Structure 1
Amino acid sequence: MPSNYSSFPRRGDGYDNGRGGYGGGRGGYDSGRGGYDSGRGGHDSGYDCLELRVSEIQSSASMTELKEFFSGYGHLHKIIMDTRESGTIFTGTAYITYKPPPETKFWKQNPRFHGKQLRIKILNHEDDRQGFSREGGSQDFLPAKSLEMGVFYKVNTFVREWEIGKDIKFKFNYARRRFEIEFGFTGANGNKTYRLRLETYFDDVEGEFHTELDRQKNQICAITTIRTKFPPRLHFLDERLGMRNQFEWNSTECWMRMTALRVRKPSNEETQQPTMPSYPNATGEDFGRWFAYRITFIFDQNQEFNKLKKMFFKAADYNIVSRKEMFSRYITTADGSNLKKYVDRSMLDFDVLYMLECNITHGYLHDYNLNDEFMDLLAQQKKETALTILDNFHQRKQRLYDPLSHLMFEVAKLQGGDSRQETVPSSCVMMRKVVITPSKMYILPPTMEPSNRTIRYFEDHKERFLRVQFNDENGKLTSSNGDNHISTLNRVHLDGYELYVEDARVTKRAYDADVRGLMNQYGVMTEYEVVSGFIFNAIVNMERKKLREIQRAVSEVMAEIRRNYRQKFEEDIFAEYSIKSAAEAKNQVNIKSKLEAKACAWYYVTYHHHERGDYRNENMMSFPWTVDDYLCDIARMNTST
Structure 2
Amino acid sequence: MDTTLRDFIGTEVKTYYRESPWERLKVPFKQAISPIIASQLPRCRSSSSGGRRPNRSNVWRFWDSLTLTVFDIPSEWIEENGNKLYNLWKPLHKHGNISFMKFIEPPNNNLTTTAIVRFFPPPRDPFWQPFNKIRVNGVDLNVRIDPYTQNSLTKQSSFTTVGNQYNKIVQLPLSSLTIGQSYHEKMVPLFGHECGTPLHDISLSVDFNNRRFMISFRIIAGEITDDYRLDINFRSVVDDIGIDVEKDSITLSFRYRLPPVLFRKELLESETKLRKVWSSSNLWRRQVDILPSSNRAVPNSPLQLLNSNNVPLGRSNMVMFSYDIRNSRSEEANAFFIEELEKYNLKSRMYRVSTYRIDGYSLRCELLYRNTDLSHTVLYLLETCLSQQLLSEVDLPVLLDNLNQLQEKRATVFLKNILASQKPLHNPTREIFTQQMAFFDLINTSSIRIRKLFVTPTTIRIVEDSIEAGNRVIRHYRQFADRFMRVQVADEFTKRKVYADNSNCEAVFARVLQLLDQGVKVGNRIYEFLAFGNSQLREHGAFFFASGPDLNVEDIRKWMGDFSEINSVSKYAARMGQCFSTTKDIDRFSVNIAPRNDIYKNNNCFTDGIGMASLSVLRRLSFEIDDNELFPSAFQFRMGGYKGVLSLAPPTKLEYHQGDLVFPRPSQDKFKSPHAVLEVIKVSRFLNARLNMQIITLLEGLGVQQDVFLEMAKNQLSELNNAMTNKQKCILMLRDNVDENRSTLVMADLIQSGFLEKNDIFTKNLLNLYYEWVLKSIKEKQKLNVSKGAYLFGVADETGTLKGHCDDAVLSIPEIFVQVTNHHSEAEASSTGRIKTTVILGLCVVARNPSLHPGDIRVCRAIRSDDLMHLKNVVVFPTKGDRSVPAMCSGGDLDGDEYTVIWDPSLLPKIVNYPPLLETTRKHAAKFLDGKPLIDSVKAFFICYIKNDNLGLISNAWKAWAHDKDNNPDGIYGQTCLKLAALHSQAVDFPKSGIACTMPKELRPKQYPDFMQKQRSRTFKAETAVGRIFQYAAKFQKENEGIRKFDPNMEMVYDDRMKLPKYKLNYLHIAEEVKERYDFDMKALMNRYEIASEYEVYTAFILLNDDMKTSINEYGVREEIMLQFSIIKKAYVNEYFEKCGLSTSCSNQDNKARIDSAVAAAYDVTYKQRLHSLRNGKRLPLISFPYIFVNILCRIAHSAAISN
| TM bracket, shorter-chain basis | 0.5 to 0.7
Task: Write the deviation string for residues 547-585 of structure 1: whole angstroms up to 9, x where unpaired.
Answer: x9xxxxxxxxxxxxxxxx978999xxxxxxxxxxxxxxx
Shift of 1:229: 0.8
Shift of 1:606: 4.6
Which structure shows the higher helix fraction? Answer: 2
For the residues of structure 1 that align with 2:1003 and 2:335, how far apart are their CA atoms? 32
State the 1:295 CA deviation: 1.4
2:226–2:293 CA contact under 8 A, matched in 1: no
5+ residue gaps in structure 2?
Answer: 1-26, 41-45, 49-53, 78-82, 157-165, 505-696, 712-905, 907-963, 970-1001, 1020-1026, 1036-1204
Q: TM-score, normalised by structure 2?
A: 0.36
Match of 1:411 among 421, 429, 434: 434
> Aligned residue for 2:838?
none
Q: Do the aligned residues in 2 keep the contact of 1:204 with 1:474 (CA within 8 Å)?
A: no
Deviations 1:476-504 (A, max 9, x none): 22363469xxxxxxxxxxxxxxxxxxxxx
Q: Distance in 2 between matches of 1:432 and 1:130?
A: 53
After superposition, give the CA deviation of every residue in 1:374-393 in whole Å (9 maximum; x if it has no partner): 43332233322222221121
* 1:455 matched residue in structure 2: 474
- Alpha-carbon shift at residue 605 of structure 1 (Å): 8.0
Whether 2:112 is the aligned partner of 1:91: answer yes
Any idea what the Cα deviations from partners look like across 1:254-293, whole Å, max 9, x if unmatched? 322111112536477x82355532242x3x3231112111
Distance 2:1003 2:304 in 1: 45
| Structure-2 residue corresponding to 1:119 | 142
2:409 aligned residue: 384
The superposition leaves residues 101-122 of structure 1 with CA deviations (integer Å, 9 ceiling, x where unpaired) of 2233333334433455432122
Q: Structure 1 length normalisation: TM-score?
A: 0.65
Which of 174, 195, 209 aligns to 1:175? It is 209
Residue 441 (structure 2) aligned to one of 409, 421, 443: 421
Could you tell which deviates more after superposition, 161-170 or 459-468? Answer: 161-170
Shift of residue 609, structure 1, vs aligned partner: 6.8
Could you say which residue in structure 1 is the equivalent of 2:128?
A: 107
CA pair 30-475 structure 1, distance change in 2 beyond 3 A: farther
Cα 1:602–1:609 shift into 2, 3 Å = closer
Shift of 1:244: 8.7
What SS does structure 2 have at the residue aligned with 1:230?
A: coil
Give the alignment of 1:506-517 within 5 angstroms: none
Q: Is the aligned partner of 1:396 residue 2:421?
A: yes
Larger RCO: 1 or 2 (CA < 8 Å, sep 6+): 1
Give the match's secondary structure for 1:389: helix
Corresponding residue of 2:251: 223
Cα distance in structure 2, aligned partners of 1:249 and 1:267: 27
Structure with greater Cα Rg: 2
- Decide whether aligned partners of structure 1 residues 461 and 125 sit closer, same or farther in structure 2, where only a CA change above 3 A counts: closer
Aligned residue among 131, 153, 156 for 2:183: 153
Structure 1 residues not aligned, in runs of 5+: 1-23, 484-525, 540-547, 549-564, 571-595, 621-641
User: Who is 2:225 aligned against?
Assistant: 193
2:385 corresponds, among 359, 365, 380, to: 359
C-alpha deviation, 1:615, in angstroms: 8.5
Matches within 5 A, 1:295-306: 295-306=321-332
CA distance in 1, matches of 2:174, 2:319: 13
Q: 1:235 aligned to 2:255?
A: no
Higher mean C-alpha deviation, range 447-456 or range 348-357: 447-456
Offset at 1:311? 0.6
Deviations 1:505-545 (A, max 9, x none): xxxxxxxxxxxxxxxxxxxxx9x989963434899xxxxxx
Is the 2:180–2:187 Cα contact (8 Å) retained in structure 1? no
Quick check: 1:82–1:91 contact (8 Å CA) kept in 2? Answer: no
CA, structure 1 residues 306+84, in 2 after alignment: closer, same or farther (shift >3 Å)?
closer
CA distance in structure 2 between the partners assigned to 1:104 and 1:123 by the alignment:
17
Question: What letter is aligned with 1:122?
Answer: I
| Amino acid paired to 2:34 | S
Quick one: which of 516, 533, 542 aligns to 2:705?
533
Pair 434,395 (structure 1): closer, same or farther in 2 beyond 3 Å: same
Letter in 2 for 1:53: T
CA RMSD of aligned residues (A): 4.4
State which of 422, 425, 449 in structure 2 corresponds to 1:430. 449
Does structure 1 conserve the Cα–Cα contact (< 8 Å) formed by 2:491 and 2:498?
no
1:58 is displaced (CA, Å) by 5.2
One-letter identity of the residue aligned with 1:413: Q
Residue type at the aligned position of 2:707: I
Structure 1 stretch displaced more, 605-614 or 89-98: 605-614
Identical counterparts, % of pairs: 20
* Change in 2 beyond 3 A, CA 1:182/1:382: same
CA distance in 1, matches of 2:128, 2:1011: 36
- Over 3 Å counting, the alpha-carbon distance change for 1:382 and 1:131 in structure 2 is closer
| Matched AA of 1:252 | S
Aligned length: 487
Name the residue aligned to 1:468: 487
In structure 1, how many angstroms separate the alpha carbons of the residues matched to 2:328 and 2:380? 53
| AA partner of residue 64 (structure 2) | D
Name the CA distance, whole Å, in 1 between partners of 2:169 and 2:372.
Answer: 50
Residue of structure 2 in register with 1:259 after alignment: 288
Aligned match of 2:200: 166
- Aligned residue for 2:240? 208
Contact 2:36 2:167 in 1 (8 A): no
1:319 and 2:342 aligned: no
Q: Provide the C-alpha distance between the structure 2 equivalents of 1:139 and 1:311, rounded to a whole number of angstroms.
A: 10
Aligned to 1:287: 313
**Match status 1:143 vs 2:173:** yes
- Counterpart of 2:103 (choices 66, 78, 81) is 81
Which letter does structure 2 place at the counterpart of 1:330?
Answer: R
Return closer, same or farther for 1:212/1:43 CA change in 2, 3 Å cut-off: farther
Aligned pair in 2 of structure 1 residues 33, 180: CA closer, same or farther (>3 Å)? Answer: closer
CA distance in 2, matches of 1:145, 1:202: 22
Instruction: Give the direction of change, closer, same or farther, for the CA distance of 1:261–1:267 in structure 2 (3 Å limit).
Output: closer
**Secondary structure, counterpart of 2:238 in structure 1:** coil
Once the two structures are superposed, what CA deviation does each residue of 1:200-231 show, in whole Å capped at 9, x if it has no partner? 1111111122121210xxxx211211211111
What's the counterpart of residue 519 of structure 1? none
Q: Which moved more, 1:286-295 or 1:33-42?
A: 33-42
Whether the 8 Å CA contact 2:190–2:316 is kept in 1: the answer is no
What per-residue deviation string (whole Å, max 9, x for no partner) do you get for residues 390-421 of structure 1? 1121223233223336xx3463223xxx6222
Q: CA deviation at 1:191?
A: 2.3
Provide the C-alpha distance between the structure 2 equivalents of 1:117 and 1:352, rounded to a whole number of angstroms: 73
